[in-house]
């Protein structure tokens, strides 16, 4: 089955809001055998909405719509849906109950605008909203499906997970689509392609298998996609190509699918019963933030120091004032001292430290913007490696954080540290 995902909202068209809903819906529907082959965004404008509905409904088995269901006057999706299905509005008692209790729980009065949200298109199945007040609508017509959900991401996600996915997973869809993504870091797209060039002819000979290179500032993802008649057949193909790729570029692959580097590290630290401290200057807390995004990180993450000032590097981590004067704040010596100091003070197995120039100001010819020293310390050794990252301030923070975590992964798994690029 195919789907077109339609997003509605002027805020998307003027670029004020990044559309995260499309990716979420696509990924979740993919998991139940529904493949998005088109995504469309239109404004809060009845004519554009109706023409998008029309085009999508003609060419797709499933049409998935988000946005424009809020309580305020600029939200017109509900009216457009009624027009499209030639129906009117009717009070839904369960929704009215939900809306009423939503406000009661928060000790807030129910406004007229919110009460109106309990009026839904006649003839739809209502998708209840447990995170907010606007309900979703679900239409089934001649083996085709029309889904309407709010644009607020966490409301839409909850409806997708608790209603849409369960609905379709109970219906078999014929073709099986499977993906497997191998996430690499520390190697560029063209270098990967060179290392994988022996696999390309093999791939070209297979009509049902594709390999995509997906670059991002922190690494290139390799995505294997397979269309097959059965789950077993798809899994076999994926296994074969995953192994072929791994045989060429294994050291660069830190994880698979949606796995983040910080999750991989968390798992290894937990298994090995090791603890971690972080000392950050130019990354400013970003590494600690990534690590603590992982549920359960409190078992291995002891503490972090965001030593932004020179003074704090000395008083918190015991970095020698003489080293800062002699070599500068962004130096091998200071990165090592920060890592060593953090490990000793936090009493952890390992510490990482980062000191660099995130820019846009502060660079010199000798020490340009993007220069980052990453320090590592455990009971056996303390050292630092030099990196030069390109990009704007936040990209440099991201790349430095990724490189620091990758250094830790390689140390934990005894993979040689690659100072190649």
- List the interface residues with a second copy, window 309-338 (CB under 8 A): 309, 311-312, 316
Of the pair 52, 124, the CB lying nearest a second copy is at: 52
Residue written as token pair 């992964």: 409
* Residue 96: partners with Cβ closer than 8 Å, 6 or more residues away: 115, 118
In the list 266, 304, 370, 375, the residue contacting a second copy (rule: CB under 8 A) is 304
| The one segment of 33-41, 82-90, 233-241, 242-250 that binds a second copy by CB under 8 A | 33-41
Enumerate residues 378-407 that contact a second copy by CB under 8 A.
Answer: 390-395, 397
| The one segment of 203-211, 246-254, 264-272, 373-381 that binds a second copy by CB under 8 A | 203-211
- Binding track, positions 282-301, relative to a second copy; x by CB under 8 A: xxxxxxxx-xxx-xxxx--x
| Residue 111 binds a second copy (CB under 8 A) | yes
Of the pair 43, 135, the CB lying nearest a second copy is at: 43
Contact in structure between 79 and 46 (CB atoms under 8 Å): yes
| The one segment of 137-145, 226-234, 276-284, 409-417 that binds a second copy by CB under 8 A | 276-284
The Cα–Cα gap between 198 and 68 comes to 50
In the list 57, 176, 189, 418, the residue contacting a second copy (rule: CB under 8 A) is 189
Of the pair 42, 120, the CB lying nearest a second copy is at: 42
Enumerate residues 34-93 that contact a second copy by CB under 8 A.
Answer: 35-45, 48, 70-74
| Residue 421 binds a second copy (CB under 8 A) | yes
Contact in structure between 214 and 259 (CB atoms under 8 Å): no
- What's the number of CA atoms in the CB half-sphere (13 Å) around residue 311? 0
Of the pair 357, 407, the CB lying nearest a second copy is at: 357
Nearest alpha carbon to residue 335 among 373, 292, 377, 371 = 373
Enumerate residues 238-267 that contact a second copy by CB under 8 A.
Answer: none
| The one segment of 164-172, 208-216, 235-243, 248-256 that binds a second copy by CB under 8 A | 208-216
| Residue 367 binds a second copy (CB under 8 A) | no
Beta bridge partners of 376: 352, 383
- Collapsed DSSP state (helix, strand, coil) of residue 65: strand
Torsion angle, CA of 187/188/191/197, rounded to 10 degrees?
100
Of the pair 124, 245, the CB lying nearest a second copy is at: 245
| Residue 17 binds a second copy (CB under 8 A) | yes
| Residue 303 binds a second copy (CB under 8 A) | yes
Residue written as token pair 């000793």: 344
Residue written as token pair 């120091």: 305
How would you classify the pairing of strands 382-388 and 62-66?
unpaired
Beta bridge partners of 22: none
| Residue 15 binds a second copy (CB under 8 A) | yes
| Residue 418 binds a second copy (CB under 8 A) | no
Cα Dmax for the chain: 78
Enumerate residues 142-181 that contact a second copy by CB under 8 A.
Answer: 152, 154, 179, 181
Compute the least distance from the CB of residue 352 to a second copy, in Å: 13
Contact in structure between 390 and 351 (CB atoms under 8 Å): no
Contact in structure between 60 and 39 (CB atoms under 8 Å): no
| Residue 205 binds a second copy (CB under 8 A) | no
Contact in structure between 281 and 355 (CB atoms under 8 Å): yes
The Cα–Cα gap between 29 and 1 comes to 10
The Cα–Cα gap between 407 and 398 comes to 14
In the list 66, 95, 98, 133, the residue contacting a second copy (rule: CB under 8 A) is 133
| Residue 218 binds a second copy (CB under 8 A) | no
């Amino acid at each position: 089955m195919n789907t077109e995902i339609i997003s509605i909202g002027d805020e998307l068209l003027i670029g004020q809001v990044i559309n995260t809903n499309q990716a979420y819906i696509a990924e979740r529907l993919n998991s139940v055998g529904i493949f998005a082959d088109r995504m469309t965004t239109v404004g809060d404008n009845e004519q554009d909405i109706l023409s998008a509905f029309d085009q999508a409904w003609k060419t797709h088995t499933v049409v998935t719509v988000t946005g424009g269901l809020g309580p305020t006057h600029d939200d017109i999706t509900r009216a457009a849906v009624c027009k499209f299905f030639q129906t009117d509005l009717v009070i839904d008692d369960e929704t009215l109950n939900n809306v009423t209790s939503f406000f009661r729980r928060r000790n807030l009065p129910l406004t007229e605008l919110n009460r109106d949200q309990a009026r839904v298109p006649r003839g739809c199945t209502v998708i209840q909203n447990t995170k907010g007040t606007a309900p979703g609508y679900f239409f089934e017509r001649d083996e085709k499906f029309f889904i309407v959900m709010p644009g607020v991401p966490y409301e839409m996600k909850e409806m997708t997970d608790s209603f849409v996915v369960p609905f379709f997973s109970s219906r078999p869809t014929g073709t099986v689509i499977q993906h497997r993504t191998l996430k690499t870091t520390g190697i560029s797209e063209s270098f990967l392609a060179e290392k994988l060039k022996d696999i390309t002819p093999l791939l070209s000979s297979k009509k049902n298998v594709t390999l995509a290179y997906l670059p991002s500032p922190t690494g290139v993802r390799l995505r294997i996609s397979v269309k097959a008649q059965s789950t077993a057949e798809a899994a076999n193909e994926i296994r074969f190509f995953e192994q072929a790729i791994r045989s060429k570029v294994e050291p660069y692959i830190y994880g698979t699918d949606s796995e983040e580097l910080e999750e991989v590290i968390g798992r290894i630290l937990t298994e090995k019963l090791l603890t971690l401290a972080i000392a950050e200057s130019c990354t400013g807390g970003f590494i600690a933030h990534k690590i603590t995004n992982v549920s359960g990180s409190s078992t291995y993450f002891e503490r972090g120091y965001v030593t932004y000032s020179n003074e704090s590097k000395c008083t918190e981590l015991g970095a020698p004032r003489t080293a800062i004067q002699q070599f500068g704040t962004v130096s091998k010596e200071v990165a090592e001292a920060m890592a060593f100091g953090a490990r000793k003070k936090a009493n952890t197995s390992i510490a990482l430290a980062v000191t660099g120039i995130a820019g846009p100001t502060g660079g010199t010819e000798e020490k340009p913007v993007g220069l980052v020293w990453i320090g590592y310390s455990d009971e056996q050794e303390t050292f630092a490696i030099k990196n030069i990252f390109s990009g704007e301030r936040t990209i440099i923070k991201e790349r430095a954080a990724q490189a620091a975590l990758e250094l830790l992964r390689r140390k934990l798994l005894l993979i040689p540290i690659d100072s190649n690029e």
